[in-house]
Structure 1
Amino acid sequence: MKFSKKTALGLLFSLTLIVAGCGQKSASDTSAAPTGAPVPAETETAKLNVQVSFYPMYEFTKNVAGDLADVHTLVPAGMEPHDWEPTPQDIASIEKADVLVYNGAGMESWIDQVTGSLSNTSLIQVEASKGINLLEGGEHDHHHEDSEATEHETRS
């Protein structure tokens, strides 16, 4: 999947706004401390709990969020993201998350069912492929490639 520079920058900007907005304190959080006074440790902003579907989403999110978030990948390394299904523990992790970042475009077949069953109404869902014009793709024509190889071998 190719991204134009404009689309990639738009995605990066959107995720940055989400991370920055989720990490902000409300005015009531800081009203107890006088201006210029150190903020007590218990009122410091906690890191965001971000769950991502698979490794490329992890890299993207980690680079945008930096130290503001703890980013966790749902699909284990070596697993095919198309075939993976979340366990009850994975669903519980999503339920507790502040943000869920996933590719979309049919990559995560489980996403609608899982997010539709969550009770976490404050979960921010980021579909990374939203608004991107996807290139048409298809299965490679292995038969055609095999035919060419066989044809080349018979000529030799």
Structure 2
Amino acid sequence: MKKWSGAYAGLFLVLAFLLSGCVSNETAQTSANKQNGLHIVTTFYPMYDFSKNVTGKHGQVDVLVPAGTEPHEFEPTPKDVAKIQNADVFVYNSDAMETWVPKLLKSIDTSKVKVVNASEGIKLMEGISEEEHASHEEQTLDPHVWLDPVLAQKEVNTIGKAIRESDPAHKQDYIKNEDQYISELKQLDQQFRSVTEKAPRKEFVTQHAAFGYLAKQYGLTQIPIAGLSPDQEPSPAKMGELQKYIKSKGFKIIYFEEVASPKVAETLASETGAKTVVLSPIEGITKEEQDKGEDYIGYMQKNLEALKQTILEK
């Protein structure tokens, strides 16, 4: 028994040493972030890009959801939670998108971490109401506000305000950065308006009902195959209705997103003689793409080019 007790004691000391090392590393990393300016933790790519454009050279901006991971399905790890707890600012899109955030906030000291709901003040639209799309009750509201360049400006304003309040010493730099980025988003808005205002066709078919805000802003109508979550699939009856509608309207393109499986869109396309084209919800951009200069605005411009193939068709 004494030998076993000695073994357990030794094991306890090893574990204690390892744990203390982890805590020390986490504390050291946090201290380093503080010295380098603000440490901002964001949930997924658009929140990261918006925050980074405002922050500029001041501080560090991290993103939790890895590129290629569907944000609708993401759940934070203990390491992710620790990052948020040690951040100066935590930015997320909305409770309708990051459904895990309200529960997580119960463990966050908001006197130390400024929490930013980027869509605060924006009235969220109701999501798809078909019964077969209602399996995700937490997503009855449509969270995809960032895909509307006008609402994206409001999110940037909300993020910018929180960053200025967290680091007033660099307030003027943040204001300058925000104004510059808002100017770029306004140009993006004008690019969409110049195309959509003269478009002879106002409807487009998409696998994922992510483009409701964009469609509303520019007088378009999205015809979604599935609901707000990309993993939802339509019933056979719904697929039959869509086939008839697509054929009757002569749609030649069905849009899908790069992160989710394109299976449903491909099936519908093969049955209607259409082809599939990417229309991105911009939920994740790889580091390699970012290194090549890809960003939110660039992807939105690609989306516009993709939409042209449908809405400019006579």
TM over 0.5: yes
2:122 pairs with one of 116, 132, 141? 132
Partner in structure 1 of residue 90 of structure 2: 100
Q: CA deviation at 1:120?
A: 5.7
Change (3 A) 1:113 1:121: same
Aligned residues: 111
Q: 1:147 aligns with which of 240, 244, 251?
A: 244
Tell me the equivalent position of 2:54.
64
- 8 Å contact 1:75–1:81 — kept in the other structure? yes
The residue number in structure 2 matching 1:123 is 113
Distance in 2 (alpha carbons) for counterparts of 1:45 and 1:114: 26
Amino acid at match of 1:146: Q
Superposed displacement of residue 147, structure 1:
3.1
Find the residue that maps to 1:145 and give its secondary structure. helix
Q: Deviations over 1:29-88 (max 9, x none)?
A: xxxxxxxxxxxxxxx964111000000000100001111120000111111111100000
Deviation at 1:149, TM superposition (A): 4.9
Structure 2 unaligned spans of 5+? 1-33, 129-208, 210-223, 226-233, 251-270, 272-314
More helix, by proportion: 2
Question: Which has the higher relative contact order, 1 or 2, with Cα contacts under 8 A spaced 6 or more apart?
Answer: 1
* Conservation of the 8 A alpha-carbon contact between 1:95 and 1:119: yes
Matched residue, 1:37: none
Superposition TM-score, scaled by structure 1 size: 0.62
- Partner of residue 71 from structure 2, selected from 81, 88, 96: 81
- Residue 87 to residue 105, structure 1, CA distance change in 2 (3 Å): closer
The C-alpha deviation readout for 1:77-111, integer Å capped at 9, x for no partner, is: 11111110000000010010000000004100110
Where does residue 114 of structure 1 map in the other structure? 104
Q: Is the 8 A contact 1:105 1:129 kept in 2?
A: no
Q: Counterparts of 1:107 and 1:48 in 2: how far apart (Å)?
A: 25
Distance, in Å, in 2 between the alignment partners of 1:65 and 1:149 is 45
Q: Secondary structure at the match of 2:72?
A: coil
Q: Which runs of 5+ in 1 are unaligned?
A: 1-43
132-141 or 55-64, which deviates more: 132-141
Paired residues of 2:95 and 2:101 also in contact (CA < 8 A): no
The one of 82, 88, 91 equivalent to 2:81 is 91
Instruction: Name the stretch that deviates more: 121-130 or 140-149.
Output: 140-149
The aligned runs of 1:33-72 (5 Å cut-off) are: 46-72=36-62
Deviations 1:112-147 (A, max 9, x none): 111111246310011100001233442525623123
Name the SS for the 2:47 alignment partner.
helix
Name 2:20's counterpart in structure 1: none
Report the aligned-residue RMSD: 2.7
- For the 8 Å contact 1:99–1:124, the answer to whether it is kept is yes
The TM-score normalised by the length of structure 2 is 0.32
Larger radius of gyration: 2
**Mapped contact 2:38–2:59 kept (Cα < 8 A):** yes
Identity among equivalent pairs (%): 42
Which deviates more, 129-138 or 79-88? 129-138
CA contact (8 A) 1:61 1:71 kept: yes
> Aligned with 1:109: secondary structure?
coil
